[in-house]
Each structure stands twice: as structure tokens, then as C-alpha cells.
Structure 1
Amino acid sequence: MVAIPSTAAVLITWPLLFAQTNAFWRLLCDNPVTVGRYDPIVSPGGVAGHVHTVSGGSGFSMSSTYEDLRASSCTSCQIKQDKSAYWIPNLYYQGANNGTFEEVSTIGGMTVYYLQRGKNIQQMQPGEVKSFPPGFQMLAGNPALRSAGNSLEQQAINFVCLDYAAGSSSSLGLPTKNCPQGLRAQVVFPSCWDGVNLDSANHKSHMAYPDAVSSGTCPASHPVRLVTVFLEVTFEVDQFASRWYPGRPQPFVFAQGDATGYGLHGDFQNGWDPAFLQQAIDTCTSSSGQMQDCPLFDLQYGQQCHVTPQVNELVNGAPLAKLPGCNPVTFSAESKAACTEALPEVWNTTAQYLGLTAPPTSNFLSNQPQTRPSYNKWQFLGCYEDSWARTLPNAVGVVGDVSVSSCLDACKSSGYNYGGMEAGQECWCSNVAPSAKLLTYASCGATCKGNSSELCGGGWALSIYNDTSAVAPVIPLTSTDLSSLFNGCYQDNPNRIMQQRMSSNFTVDGCPNVPQTVAACALSCAASGFTQAGVEYGGECSCGPLAARSVRVADSECSMYCNGDATSSTFCGAGYRLQLYKLPAPPALLSSAAPSITAILVSSSS
């Protein structure tokens, strides 16, 4: 490892620098909006050379513009008005003997400081610091660097090894010791603008650093002072503390193959409304750094704003055999050999969404759990709210653990044409379309216990599917046919052997107060998705299933005439005697061919 030059002393003063300044705010970005080979500044419209972690507006893409960012439906950062995009390269752990690569997770997302720095660090002059113009973008750092230097740019890019017990330390390159509380990567962007160009060929020459890195005097060639942007990302390197190995100063490497850390860099694409940002610069001058101290900002927390991937390439998750792209691991600028690669598939459309679950028709990487849009003839309807009353009332068992296919197969074999998965491991069925509240996809983000690549509802949320091939037969209405469905007379008790009780004046096919007959009860239960119906005490109607270990008695004990039968020729159970009917599979729904309600009320014998 190259020794740290004397400029490291400057780095250690950053926290003190913040304590002295009069104006800054700290913007937290809870999660990456996307991760992949994207860089609309350096590689607009194409696959970028290496992987970046991106925070900010959901309008971001490999070809995003200022207008795209302003049109973002959400942002992963906590100030709603900021639709800007910020990105740095991914950090990976490389295993011993040129082993595989594992993404190093971050702690707390990304933190973006906005520093109102002028020539005098203690006090900016009125109107001295300007907002970014529309279309402005810039790059800080050099991805190809592999050695230390003392330029202003290299002083502005550094690391802090967080160790609360032994004391934290700063360095220009990746530290050669473990950092128990995380490795913080820091990138200060230049703040002196030439006043003309929104970008430049190398994405840096239209900008320059003031002589004190974040404050001081701007060069004459770049006279316009812009607000200073400073990024922090803390990597959770301690998870690999037991896996260091000899032969390397440290085991980490950035996505562009940089094993030194000197190639750390950051990109910024402006997404602010310039007038609003200028107002914030001029009026939000608290020295606390708290966003809450600026009344202009609309704040949000934990929104989980995302955009679906554009490049069909795995860049995290399971260990990678190589770094994505043409990025061999290097320790010096001269050591990178030329190589070629076959570019991955590019998807032209993206979806912006909140939560951890993208719309079912979106593009997905192969390691992303997803909502299965269809299975055989089953079609996904949506994510629905569940409750103790149950949106789909019939629980079924499956073969093995629950997956989309195992649950829907179980529902179909049980005669149901609606099936739903809940909490990753429950399967529920019905023959009635769900009428519960439709939730966002984010509510159904639990992976299926039986298939980790699929999503199976969530907490009190059902991923519901409909079997579009199901053709529901009509409940038979003649006395003879109803007799064929009769399944015995059963002893009831105060706890009830059939739990779902219908109203004494129940409804059939939208018609209320239907007279109490066997046919009316059977139709009412079928319309509610049940496979069994029972009548007792002259017309009380209950729907199945029947409780386990129910006791069948002699059919003659169901001896009370049906209240709705004016001819007193049909029976509807008796006191604590339930007259049971097994409905066709799948249970009938009234079809367009069903007779009128008057035809339903024919007499039927038990």
C-alpha cells in the first residue's frame, strides 16, 4: 500500500470544518433507486463500463436528462423537491486466490451534504452561492487513478475508517485494516463553474475546485460559485472481517477494478428546480445541518422509491465470477490489459414504483423475486387486503411448501376458481371475486416459502389469481336434482358444526329476503364460494365446510318443514339438526342461463 501523503492531515479536519460553517443541510437518501451499469453522463444511452449505486429521482435511466429527472414520480432521498441523481461505483469483496466477488452492502443508504460555501468559510455573502442551472451535470474523481497525489481533486475524495473503540482514521486510498463501524467513502464535488457550459467533454473541465477544496477563492477561469455537493456512503466492511487473507493489503475492490481506492469517483445530475434551490440556499442557513430546520422542504421517510432495471445483468446477490463489464482487478494504472465483452441485453422500458415490489409486467433480473403474472390459465388480479373475515374464506393445504403453482393447483383441485397466497406461506381459495380493498404491489412483497423467486402476498395481504378457464355449472333446481346433493342429517350444537351463518332473510342473485328453502340456501352458499350448504330449524342457512368429527344421525330426525315452502312438502332440518347438501365442484355461481328468482323458489324434497 502506498503511504498516505501529508494531505491526509487536511482530510481529518472535515468534521471540524462542518462545525465552523454557518450554513449546510444534510440530505439522506434511504435506498438506491437502482444498481447497475448505468451512467447517463459518461455513457449516455448505452451500457456503462462498470456498476454504480444510484440514489435520487426515479426518472433516472441510462439516457436520463434534466427533464426526465424533473418528471420523476418519486425520489429515494428525503427531500421531495430534489429529483437529482447521485451515483458512485459499487464496492465488492474479492475472495482469496482471485476468487469470486460479493457486493459490500451499505449502512444507511447515501448522505448528501449541501454546503453553502463562499470565499470566506465562516460566512457566505448574499447572492454569492448560486443554484445549479437546468441540465447541469458533473463528475468528481478519476476512475482510472491507482496512486495517491496532492491535487485539490484528490484531497476532495477520501475514506474514513470508522472505529469507535480505537479511533477513526482518514486516508486517500482504501485502508489496510478492518473498520468495525464501517468504511465511509467521501466525495466532495467542485463548486467553481465557468458560467457557460452545463457539461464538458471530460465532464469535469467546466468545473474547478476553490483553493481550499470546498471554500476559498475560485480560479478566474471559473468565477461562478455554485453550492457545494458532498457525498457520503458507508460500506459495511466488518461483515468480511474474518475473511481477510495474505497477499493483499486489503480484500476490497471497486466496480471498475480499482483495488487501491484512488479511483473512487462520483457523478451528479441536477434535478432541482433552480429557483427553489436558490431560495433554499439563500434562506436555509442553519448550522445544524438538519433538513427539518428548513421550512421550504417537504420531507418523506422510508418511501423505497425504485426504478426497474434496464440492463439484464446480475451485479449483486450471489457471488460473481468476475466484475461486470471489462474490469480486471488492478493495482496500478499501467496494469489494466485490453479486453472485450459481449454486452448484456438492454430493456427499453422501465417502471417507477414505491416499495420493494415492482409491477408484475415489469422487467426483472433473474435473482429478483417477482409477482408471477400468470400460471397456466390463472391470471394475477392484484394485491388485496385481508382481514379476520377473510377475503378468500377457504384455506387449503398444498403439497410441500406454498408457491404460486402449488397453491393454485390446490385451489383448482378443490373446485375453486379464485386462489391467493398470503404471508409467503398460506393458501386461500374461493369462487367469489374479491371485493376487499386493492392494495399497492408493495404490500404483497413476501417471498414464497416454496419458491424464493416468486412473491406470495404479505402480512394481511393476498396475491390473488383467477382461473380464467373455469366454467361454473348452475345449481340444479328440481326436486330430483336437489335430492341427489343431499348428504345426510347431522347433530348440531351451540358451538355450531358449520361456522358460516347466513342471514335469516338472505339474498340470492341480488334479490333480498328470499323465502327459506333448500334451493335458496344452496344458491346463497354457492354464490359465497362454499362447497357445502346446510339448513336447520325450518330454514336457518349455514355454509361449509362441516366441522371435523360431526355426528350423522338418522335422516328422519331432520323433520321440520321449510319456512319458505307454502305447500309444507319439503324439510329443512330441525332443532340442532342440520340437513347437509354437498354442492357441485366447482360450487355454482348463477349463470346467464339460470332461471328467474321465481323459478328458484320451487319446492324441493330432502
Structure 2
Amino acid sequence: MASITSTATLLALAHDARAFFRVLCGQLVLDRADPIINPGAVSSHLHTTRPVRVTDGRSFDFEMTYDDARASSCSTCQPKADASNYWTPNLWYRAKNGTFHAFTVYYLQRPNVTAGVRAFPAGFRMIAGDPTKRSFSGSIEQRQITHMCIGQNDDDRESYPLPDHECQNGLRTQVFFPSCWTGKDVDTPDHKSHVAYPSLGYDGDCAETHPVRLISIFYEIMWDTVYDDQHPDKNDFPKEWWVPEGATQPFVLSNGDPTGYGFHGDFINGWDVDKLQAAADHCLAPSGVIQDCPLLELRTDYEKTECLQVPRVADETVGWVDRLPGCNPITSGPADAKMIPPSACGATTEIISKDSQQIKFPFISPVEGWTILGCAPDDINARVMSSERYANGAMTPKVCAAYCQEHGFEYAGVEYGSECFCDHAFDQSLLTARKCDVHCDGDSTVNCGGNARLAVYQRGAAPLAPAQASDTSLSPTSTEPTHGPLMVSTRGQDFKQLSVLRPGWEKVGCYIDTVKSRMLPIGPFTDDDMTPELCISRCEEDSYLYAGTEWAKECWCADDLPDDAQKANDMECDTPCAGDTALTCGGSLRVMIYLDADLNSDNDDEECVDALDGDGDGISHNGPTNQEQCEDVEGDCSIGMQPPSMRSLRNYLRVEQGNSSLGISV
């Protein structure tokens, strides 16, 4: 199931205040790995991990030490001082898995009244919960793991089992970890005895046997159980709620648990101990906003999203599967379940070598006769390869390599699904990126770099063996098209943005698009003859104010732009149009937007437009207070009250009624 967000929180009590901060972490990998319970071997069930990737080919591994974590080259979590590893089982729809997004860890500073709170020592690790549980005993440990539907009605409260009804706004799971420590062992054979819960579970006093109060950890996982009616093909489960025989709801954890009692969490400390201690002592804001703790330097979104890893156990984790990965028959209890070793049911126990091409370069598709060097961030103003650039509308790595070799270059690079670059030299110190995962225009089963990410190859090496085929492979190989005719080629310069517009229309610019929240929601209208002119005429026909081209052949329309529209560089909208390769039609999740300036001027006088254009981009963004803003500048706003067309009527109604949106905040 899609885990939308997950939070780890640290809490501290100082001067009668409850201080804490949230650490937002993205998913690193979904794999049968558990270096605490199954060190050096394949785990019995699947986990979602939100940790670090470390240097020298080492990553979140089947065996991990504190030094391994501290040697990390990247992490999916915000604080640069945090190289910890956090993992939990993942949620499946009965017989179908989902996808994961983010994970949040709360760090709470809750000491005893007369004592301070300690940071986790080097080498510290622990687990919370028990994967074998299938019924509720009322123990203090079980009471610290709960589930609840989000924002549904007053009857929805935290419950120990998974909810027995549909959660309209998503499902949340919460895990509190023990926060009292013996002060001696950083781990014990059962990974629990060295820690204990305080008297109230999440708070209270520590027993004499475990007198040292540690900073508290609280995991919060949001599962995306909401069916998306607008994009039915994007859902991980059917729309209809159903209950399998012997169960109360259709979801099951990856350890075969349909009850929720067997949920658990694992933690390996990777913090810089001194910095975490300083944060516990001095970051006392009750807001939970990590930016309110200036002692902690944060990673950028780029740094977090570039920290990626592929599974090293070849399980089926995509689409419909016959059984849960590993040996995890669904057991409802009430007796405890037995953990079955993978070998008992024929599940794979092989760990793919981290030196293999598919692990070292998981997203870069191989080309025979060329060596994969890696993935490099690129900049349209300072290209890392600048000698020659080429596009033919059907790009693949093989096509690019053939073109560069034909023109005498040693290095080849593909980018953004459609672009090829060649050069005689390349600085390998630039290979610092990871996310070269955009599918190729010429073959969607292989990848051609990424968004401002160049997948780099060097000519003259021994042929590369194809990546091992499995359902977990993120860079599958296939037969690629042969080198085609040259359509666009530039030497030492970038593509030009070419467009021919209808009279009265003007270019707004290139914007970032997303699948679930389209910049222009009307569409798409696809056409193999797509050009900006064709798209504009299609939108103009229905009196839409905005038109946009995307991904060579898509056309989208709208009456206005969202308030949170994110502008991209125009050069990111450089995919050749399907109908005329001399013109450009947006890009992958990049839409080139055009405005009907004549229609816009019919609906708003100049002063009203000035009032509404708060961000200075020349576009009026409509909202519930447009009329008031017009009147504030003493403009003639009567046109806004008397819409002359159906498009304007739609806009007028939107102004009067306002816009509403639903979101989940954690």
C-alpha cells in the first residue's frame, strides 16, 4: 500500500514544555532485508526501509554497524547528522501490493522531571513490536502500536487492530519505541531487554532497572488507501471494499498478518551523537518543525531524492502476485504465528552481489560495447557534455551510443528520455547523481537519463552482460530500435524553443506537471500530428484560456492556473513535437503553457489584472477574493461580474464560490 508520509519524532520535556521535532524520510528500498533480526541473510518478510546509502558500493545492507551508517554518502532523511536506519513491514491489499512514498520519524524530548534526556549512543539498536502477534494481550508494548482512519468521523479512534471499515482519507499507523535504557548494553540478543517503556508507555517514569531516559522515537506511517476516481489506472486496489473469508478487512501486512497486531519497527542509530544531544538539550520548540532547530543542518530535497537503492533479493513485488514475498502464509490467529524460514517454501535466499551492474547502476540501461560510468547532474547553462547534441524522436541508449561512435566520440550520454550528448572527454568526478530513471522516447522499457540527469557511457570497453531480469529490476533490458535518421542535431549549443502561435496567443512558459494534480486538468487530447498550433486551436474551440503541450503529442486545456504552479526552465520543455520535430511540445511531466491574451483581456481590465498578479508573472490567478482585490485598487471590475462567454462564466462561478482542497497533514 502506498505509504504517503512517515515521521520519526524526538520528544523532550524541559521547563514544562513538550519539545519535539519531525524528521521526514523518503523510501530507500523495499526488500527482504533486516540487519537486526536476520543479519547476513535474507529476511523472512518484506520491509520498507528509510535509511542511508553508504560509500564504496555499500548501502543499507544485510549486515550494518554504526560505522557503516556513519560512512553514508547520502540519506533519504532531512538532518545531515542523521544516518540512521528505520524500517517497518509494508501493507498489502489482499493479493496486491502498493507503492511507498515518504516516512516520518518523530523525535520527542521527554525526560524524567529531575533528569535530562540522552541521545542514543554509538552502536545502539532496538525493535518495537512483535511480528508473530495475531491477538491483543494488553501489554504495555502492544499498546504503543496503533492504527486509525484519518479525518473521517468522531467514531474513528486509534485502534490496536487494523480498522474493519474503509478509510476514506487514508490509514495511519503509529509506533512508539521504548525510551528507558539500562545505560550499559547498546543491544541484546532479543534486541529488547536493554530498553523498556516508561510507566505510561509513551511517557512517564523509568524503572530502576532502566534508569536512563533516552530521546523518544515515534514512527508515523500514512498508508494511501484512498481510491483515486480521477485516475483509476493508477490505483493499487479495486474500488469496491470487500472482506475476505475469515478477515475483517482486505489488507494484510507483509509478514502475513491481517490483524495489525504484528506490526513492528526497527531502528539502528546512525546519528552524530554529539549533534543529537545538542538538539535534545537546546531545540525546545513545541512546533515539531525541524527548521525550528537551527543546530541541525538539513539535506536538500535533491540530496534526499538522489539517495536510491534497488532490492538485492529478486522477489515479485510489483503488480498482482500469488503469495506474499518470502514464506508468509496469511494467519489470523489468535495464536501467535510461526516465522517460517524462506528456504522452507522455496522462496529465494540469494542476495544479489552489490558489485553487479544492476545494483551499482540500477537505473542505467546497458549498451553492448560501452561501459556505464554513472549518472551526472546536468545544467542547461553549463552542460557536462557540450561537443554535440542529438535527438531523433525515438531515443535509446543504443541509438545515442551509435551516433556518438559514428561521429568519433569516446563518451555518450542520454538525458530526459529524448536527448543524446557526445564528447571527447568527461570529468568522472561529476558522477554524483543517482536518479537517471526517465524512460526513453524510443523504448519505454529502457531508461535515458533523467530530468537534468545525464546517464554517461564510455566507448571501447568489454561488452556488458544484461541486468538480471526480475520483477524488481528498475532498469530492464530489451531489444532497442536501430540507429535512425538524424532529425535534430546541434554542436556546442542547446535546442531552440520553436513555436508558431495563433494570433492573440502568447507563451507563458514551461511548468512542472504531476500525474495526480495536473497543471491543466482538461485533457489530454492526444494526436500524432501534435504541434502548439494544433493544441491551441483545440483549446480555443472550447473557449479555454490556457493551452499546453506535453510529451510530444499531448494537449491540455484549462481556465486558470493553480496557485502553487511551479515554473521550470523553458529548456526543459524541449521534446520535439510528434507533428513537427522542428517544434517543441513540452517534455516528460513538463507542460509548455500558452495564454489566450485576447480572451484574458476581455475578462479583466488592466488594473484588475495588476491586482491579481501578486507574483508578477503576468498571469492573473483567480481565487475567492478576486472581486475584493479589484475593488481595493479602484478598478472597473464590472466585466468580472458580467462574464461574456461560457469560459468566463466558469471562471466567474469559481471566483464567487472559491476553491477548496483536501489534504492530510502529519
Relative to the length of structure 2, the TM-score reads 0.58
For 1:68 and 1:274, the matched residues in 2 are separated by 15
For 2:389 and 2:306, the matched residues in 1 are separated by 35
1:329 corresponds to 2:317: no
Please, which of 226, 230, 234 is the counterpart of residue 238 of structure 1? 226
Residue of structure 1 equivalent to 2:350: 345
Asked if the contact 2:387–2:491 (Cα under 8 Å) also holds between the matched residues in 1, the reply is: no
Asked if the contact 2:389–2:490 (Cα under 8 Å) also holds between the matched residues in 1, the reply is: no
Residue of structure 1 equivalent to 2:395: 402
Taking only the aligned residue pairs, the percentage that are identical comes to 36
1:40 corresponds to 2:41: no
Distance of aligned partners of 1:285 and 1:325 in 2 relative to their CA distance in 1, 3 Å threshold: same
Distance of aligned partners of 1:149 and 1:403 in 2 relative to their CA distance in 1, 3 Å threshold: same
Asked if the contact 1:328–1:336 (Cα under 8 Å) also holds between the matched residues in 2, the reply is: no
Deviations 1:200-245 (CA, angstroms, capped at 9, x unpaired) = 2221122211121122122232222222111101110113461422
Structure 1 residues 412-427: aligned runs within 5 Å:
419-426=412-419
AA in 1 matched with 2:199:
D
For 2:147, what is the secondary structure of its paired residue?
A: strand
For 2:135 and 2:409, the matched residues in 1 are separated by 67
RMSD value over aligned CA atoms? Answer: 3.7
Distance of aligned partners of 1:451 and 1:301 in 2 relative to their CA distance in 1, 3 Å threshold: same
1:113 corresponds to 2:109: no
Structure whose alpha-carbon radius of gyration is higher: 1
Asked if the contact 2:85–2:267 (Cα under 8 Å) also holds between the matched residues in 1, the reply is: yes
State the Cα distance separating 1:263 from its structure 2 match: 0.5
Residue of structure 1 equivalent to 2:359: 363
For 1:211 and 1:137, the matched residues in 2 are separated by 21
Residue of structure 2 equivalent to 1:580: none
Structure 1 residues 182-197: aligned runs within 5 Å:
182-197=170-185
State the Cα distance separating 1:386 from its structure 2 match: 6.7
For 2:87, what is the secondary structure of its paired residue?
A: strand
Distance of aligned partners of 1:382 and 1:84 in 2 relative to their CA distance in 1, 3 Å threshold: closer
Which ranges in structure 1 are unaligned for 5 or more consecutive residues?
1-13, 95-99, 351-359, 470-497, 502-606
Distance of aligned partners of 1:237 and 1:431 in 2 relative to their CA distance in 1, 3 Å threshold: closer
Distance of aligned partners of 1:250 and 1:391 in 2 relative to their CA distance in 1, 3 Å threshold: same
For 1:178 and 1:220, the matched residues in 2 are separated by 44
Residue of structure 2 equivalent to 1:210: 198
1:128 corresponds to 2:116: yes
Distance of aligned partners of 1:216 and 1:417 in 2 relative to their CA distance in 1, 3 Å threshold: closer
Asked if the contact 2:387–2:421 (Cα under 8 Å) also holds between the matched residues in 1, the reply is: yes
Asked if the contact 1:84–1:269 (Cα under 8 Å) also holds between the matched residues in 2, the reply is: yes
Residue of structure 2 equivalent to 1:314: 315
For 1:325 and 1:436, the matched residues in 2 are separated by 39
Residue of structure 1 equivalent to 2:271: 272
State the Cα distance separating 1:316 from its structure 2 match: 2.9
State the Cα distance separating 1:328 from its structure 2 match: 0.7
Which ranges in structure 2 are unaligned for 5 or more consecutive residues?
1-8, 55-59, 228-236, 462-488, 493-666
AA in 1 matched with 2:70:
R
State the Cα distance separating 1:330 from its structure 2 match: 1.3
Distance of aligned partners of 1:58 and 1:444 in 2 relative to their CA distance in 1, 3 Å threshold: closer
For 1:453 and 1:432, the matched residues in 2 are separated by 29
Residue of structure 2 equivalent to 1:448: 440
AA in 2 matched with 1:422:
E
For 2:440 and 2:138, the matched residues in 1 are separated by 53
Distance of aligned partners of 1:394 and 1:246 in 2 relative to their CA distance in 1, 3 Å threshold: closer
Deviations 1:12-57 (CA, angstroms, capped at 9, x unpaired) = xx9xx99x97233223233122221111111111111111111233
For 1:158, what is the secondary structure of its paired residue?
A: strand
Asked if the contact 2:307–2:434 (Cα under 8 Å) also holds between the matched residues in 1, the reply is: no
For 1:267, what is the secondary structure of its paired residue?
A: strand
1:152 corresponds to 2:140: yes
Deviations 1:110-129 (CA, angstroms, capped at 9, x unpaired) = 1111222234xxxx43x432
Distance of aligned partners of 1:214 and 1:379 in 2 relative to their CA distance in 1, 3 Å threshold: closer
AA in 2 matched with 1:252:
F
Distance of aligned partners of 1:141 and 1:67 in 2 relative to their CA distance in 1, 3 Å threshold: same
Relative to the length of structure 1, the TM-score reads 0.63
AA in 1 matched with 2:108:
L
Moved more, 437-446 or 195-204: 437-446
Query: How many residues of Structure 1 are paired with residues of Structure 2 in the alignment?
Result: 431
Distance of aligned partners of 1:300 and 1:128 in 2 relative to their CA distance in 1, 3 Å threshold: same
1:70 corresponds to 2:70: yes
For 2:17 and 2:391, the matched residues in 1 are separated by 64
For 2:329 and 2:428, the matched residues in 1 are separated by 54
Residue of structure 1 equivalent to 2:576: none
AA in 2 matched with 1:283:
H
AA in 2 matched with 1:86:
Y
Distance of aligned partners of 1:395 and 1:437 in 2 relative to their CA distance in 1, 3 Å threshold: farther
For 1:103 and 1:261, the matched residues in 2 are separated by 17
Distance of aligned partners of 1:455 and 1:85 in 2 relative to their CA distance in 1, 3 Å threshold: same
